Amino acid sequence: MKKRAVITGIGLMTPLAVGREASWQQLVGGSSGIRRFTLFDPSRLKTQFGGEVPDFDPTAWLDKPSVRRTDRYTQLAIAAADEAMTDAGLELEPAVAPRAGVLLGVALGGLASLEHHHALLLDKGPERMNPFMVPMMLANTAPGMLAIRHGAQGPNYTVTSACASGAHAIGESLELIRRGVADVMITGGVESTLTELCVSGFCAMRALSTRNDSPATASRPFSLGRDGFVIAEGAGIVILEELEHARARGARIYAEVAGYGLSADAHHITAPHPEGQGVVLAIERALASAGVDPSDVQHVNAHATSTAAGDEGEARALRRVFGERTLELPVTAPKSMIGHTLGAAGGIETAFLALTLHHSLIPPTINHEEPDRDLGLSLVSGGAREGRIDVALKNSFGFGGTNASLVLRRFDARGGV
């Protein structure tokens, strides 16, 4: 039998709040974490708002010299991973450390550090370069730092697959546990690219919402008024453990990561396949990996970026997989509240989904005053919805046509402790 992997710890740094519990309470309460940028002056840009982690102080986790030597994305990863490890009640003893790894999804890495040092080079010259510039900007610095911090000597690398990165990282961590390579994986996604360079690039693509007069209502997945995604930052880290390892130490289990599917649209470098063809493949493969049928799925945590083409393609894919059940299948879109955290999205939203199963409470989708009836979805809106969920689906997609789907199962749905 395949080894099983369960989530025993969760750490969150989101535009809603610092920390797991505060983020979850804001999410189920239907709050928005979207506001005008404060990390830089956005006055020259068409889009002047996004999702920043509020009141994040890296000195709560790092001393001041270390803060100066690390990019904000690494700082967010450290904070979330510390919370996740504490939540799991896990310390990597010498006997465990060689079989404990770190695998994170990161789309762009230390872009803020790269942008800062490029400006410094042009203004002051090469002699003013920070010797830590290169590790600050590398996309694999965060997992490396987490391994050092927690003593994890197992697999250590970064998955970089645009906005599917976090979900791919969790899925690949599942496969490492199934293959017997690791017993513990610190995994998820992290991103912090809220800079003038990055935002102006997405503005040039016309990918972002421009509702500067009402940032909190700008992210409106599956709504008729959607006009682009809302860029954000954050970190979502989960501790994924082999089931018997978790049982042996009496760990509290949030949910089981039961299935993983991945695919390519093979269609366009940025636009999704209009019929959701690649998404269908990813979902079907995740269901097969979990050993469940479409009829078993009771809830979908959607990718749902609030772009016209993206939301439509995902909705069509869901209708192709679930048929008439799609009209009744509860769907929620966390990006309505946190925006699109790029490489962190799959990590943050999988953590939210694990909490959904654990608390039997589906968070709402906000800003859904104008439902797009043509999409044929049953969106959870107007408040959180109570009810036991045994099997749920998480979707994440990225530029390049890359897709990832995860199946999470309530742990006691198959005779768990």
Q: What is the average pLDDT across 102-130?
A: 95
Of 248, 270, 286, which closes a domain? 248
Q: What is the average pLDDT across 222-247?
A: 97
Q: What does the DSSP assignment read for 322-341?
A: HGGGGGTSEEE-THHHH-B-
Q: How confident is the model at residue 123 (pLDDT cuts 50, 70, 90)?
A: very high
pLDDT value of position 369: 86
Here the tokens at position 278 are 């690649």
Q: What is the average pLDDT across 69-90?
A: 98
Of 248, 267, 297, which closes a domain? 248
pLDDT value of position 346: 98
- % of the chain residues with pLDDT over 90: 94
Cite the active site residues: 163, 303, 340
Query: Could you tell me if residue 130 is inside a domain?
Result: yes
Query: Could you tell me if residue 143 is inside a domain?
Result: yes
pLDDT value of position 415: 46
Q: Check: CB of residue 396 under 8 Å from CB of residue 349.
A: yes
Q: How confident is the model at residue 151 (pLDDT cuts 50, 70, 90)?
A: very high
SS3 408: strand
Q: What is the C-alpha end-to-end distance of the chain, expressed in Å?
A: 18
Over residues 254-284, the pLDDT tens digits come to: 999 999 999 999 999 988 898 889 999 999 9
Beta strand segments in 164-312, E: 184-191, 234-242, 255-264, 299-301
Instruction: In whole angstroms, give the CA distance from residue 45 to residue 53.
Output: 20
pTM of the model: 0.97
Q: Check: CB of residue 404 under 8 Å from CB of residue 396.
A: yes
Query: Is a pLDDT exceeding 60 seen at residue 289?
Result: yes
Here the tokens at position 39 are 């990390």
Same domain, 37 and 181: yes
Same domain, 286 and 190: no
Q: What is the average pLDDT across 96-107?
A: 98
pLDDT value of position 417: 39
Q: Check: CB of residue 198 under 8 Å from CB of residue 231.
A: yes
Q: Tokens 């965060």 label which residue?
A: 142
Query: Could you tell me if residue 108 is inside a domain?
Result: yes
Distances (CA, A) of 96 to 170, 179, 244: 20, 17, 13
pLDDT value of position 305: 97
pLDDT mean across residues, the chain: 96
SS3 376: coil
- % of the chain residues with pLDDT over 70: 99
Query: Could you tell me if residue 254 is inside a domain?
Result: no
Structural domain span for residue 384 = 259-414
SS3 409: strand
Q: How confident is the model at residue 373 (pLDDT cuts 50, 70, 90)?
A: confident
Same domain, 162 and 282: no
Q: What does the angle CA 76 – CA 46 – CA 120 come to, to the nearest 5 degrees?
A: 55
CATH number, position 61: 3.40.47.10
Of 204, 226, 248, which closes a domain? 248
pLDDT value of position 371: 86
Q: How many domains does the chain have?
A: 2
